[in-house]
Amino acid sequence: MTVPDLTTGLFSIYLTTLLGLAAGQAAPGPNFLAVTATALGQGSRAARFVSLGVACATALWVTAAACGLGALLALWPRLLTGLSLLGGAYLLWMAARTLRGMVLALLRRAGQAAPAAETLQRTAVQAWRYGLLVNMTNPKSAMVWASIAAYMLNAGLTPVQVIGFAPLGFTSALLIYGAYAILFSRPAVRRAYGRFSPVFDGIYAAVFGLLGLTLLAGAVRAMTA
């Protein structure tokens, strides 16, 4: 196995990895839901900070994968189970928070809640941390990055070269989720959300809850197997 040439093989491996990663990032998932729900409920600025948190977590996953994440998971598979428990619990908390927003919206429409009770606004730091935690507590991210690192290392890259992919992964996540943040915070989209916010919140709560329960159920099965 030889180290890829910096101008040909390395570029080809990076490009192939980036295209696959971008396709996965563009697909709906916890990161997508976190960004779009924030954009609809709180606007572009908060959603862009969530996107930044997701992108920072992507860079951390690249680094962890290059440092032996796959080998670590193979040696201690319970780590993935623990991550599933943590991720499932966090997604259920997100579902409860979204469900609370739905209930408040319904109460306001019925005249039983003051408008001030609506606010669940995040600061820039809170929004960034939210995006970071959503991505870092997703066990699928651990599995995906372990697989990506295995592909890149088997293709001849050194761990340092794998870490060198981190800026590309970061930029891809920032651009894709940032685009979602801008799209879903557009006035027309937010007006539609304002009219049907309980419906949208109910959908988001159901999806977050289903994802969380799925992760917890998988973790419980792994612990009892």
pLDDT tens per residue across span 47-95? 999 999 999 999 999 998 888 876 776 677 777 777 778 777 877 887 8
Distance CA(11)–CA(199), nearest Å, equals 45
The model's pTM: 0.77
**Cα–Cα distance, 137 to 92 (Å, whole number):** 12
Q: Which amino acid is at 22?
A: A
Q: Does the structure show a pLDDT above 80 at 195?
A: no
Query: For 57-61, 96-100, 123-127, which range has the lowest pLDDT when averaged over its residues?
Result: 96-100
Residue 115 has pLDDT above 60, yes or no: no
Mean pLDDT, residues 83-110: 77
Among 131, 141, 159, smallest CA distance to 21 is for 141
Round to whole Å and give the CA distance between 89 and 213: 8
Contacts of 119 (CB under 8 A, 6+ apart): none
Provide the pLDDT for residue 35: 95
Could you tell me which of 106, 130, 129, 108 has the C-alpha nearest to residue 117? 108
Going by pLDDT thresholds of 50, 70 and 90, the confidence category of residue 27 is confident
